[in-house]
Structure 1
Amino acid sequence: MPHVLILGGTTEARRLADALDPHVRVTSSLAGRVAAPRLPAGEVRIGGFGGAEGMADWIRGHAVSAVIDATHPFAETISFNAARAAATAHVPLLALRRPGWVRGAGDDWREVGDLAEAAECVRGAGRVFLTTGRMGLAAFAHVDDVDFLVRSVDAPEPPVPPRMEVLLDRGPFTLDGERAVLAEHGVDVLVTKDSGGAATSPKLVAAREAGIPVVVVRRPPVPDGVPVATTVESAVEWLHATVP
């Protein structure tokens, strides 16, 4: 029986685990950063591998036939570790990445390279809605002239911005809900990563309607030489063509 390792934690990863043939053994690996993650079908492991070498050892030790990196588009470290591990263990690797967002008419976007650049962009901006996840809040910890509204699945831990209000919530988010958040909290600027997908895109529409500028952090590139699928269906097709 072929054994597929899915590096998961995303909606696409869960859909992929559901979509694979029942005659394929599936193990989904989750980072363990969310206290109560939504678990996919099949076997699940939680926690790191110990770097690229540890992942390569796990792949060999569990007779993995192929690896599909369906992590968040900004999970740069695990993606590069996966590329090195797959090459070391001589197994095929695919990156499953939802398409990024596209600027539309009326959008007021400023694209930046990373969270540190985003932090400099919002200095003195009044009320800033941070939707970049709790793991990146350290980049904003030195910004003391902004009132941050931070949305996170779990409560953030220091270092965090000194002036911060937290909204504990998990997507998908509705357009009406995002309109309400922007209005009720008097948001002046929205900061987001280009994670793509429909689950968190309503905030962009709500910001456009309200004339609120958006700082968009560009996603890191996929490691060189790794093929990319943009849909679960194309990932399944790749697997069928790659693993007998």
Structure 2
Amino acid sequence: MNAIVAERTAGINPKADPVLDHMEGKLRIGALFPDPLDDDDDGDETITTTRRAIGRVALVASETATRFQREAVEHDPMAWMFSPRRLFDGAAAIDACLDRDACMRGVLAHGLGLGLDVSRAAIDALMASEDDGLDEHEYEYLYGNIPSNGRRSNRDRAGRQTRLRLYTATIAETRDNRMLQAFHASVARNVDEVRARLVGRFGPDLAAAADIRTGLHSTAPLVIALVPSPVAAMIIQMGNDCASSAAKTFAVDIQQVIQA
């Protein structure tokens, strides 16, 4: 049995479609998919994937539902996940977000509160503009020394955006008599990847407040307070070996919450 996900939209007459005849309001069918509450069937489509890829889909689904609840969006998260989206070149998130890049676009779209059918080009332009908006001091701070002529070539920029580096981030935020202090370390190609991970872990508001740096700054107050010396040594060692297979999945998250 297939489940039907309908999306509320303008200009559609539900009486014109017998499937939606019993529904009130203006709806359209967003997707048909096997009912997850039914038993498995021999005719079910088989998909070969990995546990990591399943985690990507779960991350986007979680961010979708959280965003809809946070912003009181009158839209079914399942409909968004199963319907074709321009963000994924016409594919549905449930399929596209098995891929890492599509997962990042989905997380960013919801983390930044963008349109429900935002185009892929808009997200890609937004991600590309983050580096373009940095002045020379900020670029050097995040990516290392700039060329002696003071210019960043396209080749140099592309190399820095694809090279794996160790990034660390700290968050210190106090809201409603609740103080959160957090530390994150991971290996990534650029700041956007790190920011997307922070959105998935802490939500867009705290991710926006994060101080993201290349490498581990062991004298930073939050690093001293949160990161034990053996863990710091392990992080530094991983930063020196970013080309290893272990580095690609390396991540450290430490946080403490103080309630007044």
Structure with higher RCO (Cα < 8 A, 6+ apart): 1
Q: If each structure's helix is expressed as a fraction of its own residues, which one has the higher value?
A: 2
TM-score by length of 2: 0.25
Instruction: Look at both structures and tell me which one has the larger radius of gyration over its CA atoms.
Output: 2
TM-score by length of 1: 0.26
